[in-house]
Amino acid sequence: DASSNAKAQKTTKPLYERLSQYKEDQSLHTKTPNVFKLTPDMEPIPCKPLFFDLAMNYLELPSLEDKLESPGKKGASITG
Amino acid sequence: TNPKEAQIKSAYADVNKYGNNREYDKAIKAVNRILGVAPDDQTALHCKVVCLVQLSKFEEAHKFIEKNRLTSLIFEKSYCEYRLNRQQQALKTIDDGIVQPLPPNLKELRTQILYRLERYEECLDSYKDIIKNTSDEYEDERRTNLSAVAANLAVDKN
């Protein structure tokens, strides 16, 4: 039995459904290996395109320059 | 200096620090310290709106703008409306503002609103104009948006 299994055999079952059996499956060496049956079959459908929110990048705090006098300068004006 | 002034100054230092680090939850606490003693401080009011929007609190930010009649914050107000999916209102906020020609921030936002309103022809023209006149680090993303507009135009025509 073992010797017959080692031979290359035609099978329509995908690899996923026969993991416990050893079979030399030539399809596994091709570009379309019979590994797993995907359902549903792939087909092109319209998709929502990528769209970036670039306005968000403009959302910034206002300039705080006039609110942030350096403490050193402030100190000098008090003592000086 | 009086204590109130010193308190405001130190709070602003915190706003600046946390703002630079993009820690808007902490920045907003510092802003609230300012508004606690100076409720009409326009810069602080503006900062609070920006923090709220950065924290994705669009509804709260929008109400805050209305309540405090922050009419100069057209961009922030419209952006909130855009994110709250009130596109018609968002467009109206920009177009009712007296700013002409539109500065880059309002132009970018207005173009995105046109996209959401599915006004793709105008949107395409607007993107072409923006792309021609800006050079920033988001040129790839903007061209992606342009492609999205073009794709929608192509679908519409079928």
C-beta atoms of A52 and B108 within 8 A = no
How far is the alpha carbon of B70 from chain A, nearest alpha carbon, in Å?
14
**What residue of B is the nearest CA neighbor of A65?**
B16
B contacts of A58 (beta carbons < 8 Å):
75, 104-105, 108-109
C-beta atoms of B145 and A74 within 8 A = no
B contacts of A64 (beta carbons < 8 Å):
12, 15-16, 19, 43, 47
For B29-88, what is the HEC assignment? HHHHHHHHHCCCCHHHHHHHHHHHHHCCCHHHHHHHHHHCCCCCCHHHHHHHHHHCCCHH
Q: Angle, nearest 10°, between helix axes B87-96 and B104-116?
A: 150
Q: Is B12 on the interface with A (CB under 8 A)?
A: yes
> Which of B2, B7, B10, B12 should one mutate to test binding to chain A, selecting the residue with the greatest count of A CBs within 10 A?
B12
Taking any CB pair shorter than 8 Å as contact, residues of chain A touching chain B are 46, 49-62, 64, 67-69, 74, 78
Query: Distance (Å, rounded) from C-alpha A64 to C-alpha B15?
Result: 9
Pick from A51, A67, A74: which is nearest to B145 by CB? A51
Reading chain B (158 residues) residue by residue, the pLDDT tens digits are 688 899 999 999 999 999 999 999 999 999 999 999 999 999 999 999 999 999 999 999 999 999 999 999 999 999 999 999 999 999 999 999 876 889 999 999 999 999 999 999 999 999 999 999 999 999 999 999 999 999 999 987 76
Pick from B12, B75, B152: which is nearest to A68 by CB? B12
Q: Label residue A77 by pLDDT band (50, 70, 90).
A: very low
Residue A8 φ/ψ, nearest 5 degrees? -65, 130
C-beta atoms of B147 and A61 within 8 A = no
Task: Report ipTM (2 d.p.).
Answer: 0.91
Query: Distance (Å, rounded) from C-alpha B26 to C-alpha B13?
Result: 12
